[in-house]
Amino acid sequence: MVGSEKEESMRKIIEAGEKGDSSVLFKFLSDDIKYTDAYGIESDKDGLLSLFTNLSSQWPDREYRLDNWAIKDNTVWVESTNYMTHVNEFQGIPPTNKRIKNLIVWIMEFQDGKIVEIREYEKKTEYMIRQLQE
């Protein structure tokens, strides 16, 4: 898989994420994918798809903006700003209808056209809660 193919794959994954379509994401994941979130918690394919489904219901209008990315060999780095509206309870905070953002970096390893590993780094819960309480 050359750089332009990985780039196209990333665009499809992000578009699917915005639509809450886990079936597209599923096509790009290897069966033995390893996902590590910003807290260092590891998940398998089922865990990642469950997380994706939960995020889609928690933040139904999520919008991913790809700010920057790089591809070298089998590794893709993606820096993204995510925007979402707080319409459901989050961490005990009732809906505020505030539009907030979250900053994320994903590092993805590809093998044979599939993602075999995702490592995620982000300003997580504390950053989002601070925005909701402002």
For the stretch 78-123, pLDDT in tens is 888 889 999 988 888 899 999 999 898 999 999 988 999 999 998 7
**pLDDT at 117 (0 to 100):** 96
How far CA 70 is from CA of 22, 24, 45, 73, 131, in Å, comes to 24, 22, 24, 10, 29
**pLDDT at 119 (0 to 100):** 96
For the stretch 44-88, pLDDT in tens is 999 988 887 777 778 888 888 888 888 888 898 988 888 999 998
Query: Residue 92: which CATH number?
Result: 3.10.450.50
- Contacts by 82-88 with C-beta closer than 8 Å and gap 24+? 84/59, 85/59, 85/61, 86/59, 86/132, 87/59, 87/60, 87/61, 88/57, 88/58, 88/59
**pLDDT at 127 (0 to 100):** 75
Range of the domain at 86: 3-133
**pLDDT at 69 (0 to 100):** 83
The total of structural domains in the chain comes to: 1
Rounded to an integer, what distance in angstroms lies between the CA atom of residue 74 and that of residue 7? Answer: 12
| Nearest residue to 67 via CA among 77, 79, 83 | 79
**pLDDT at 82 (0 to 100):** 87
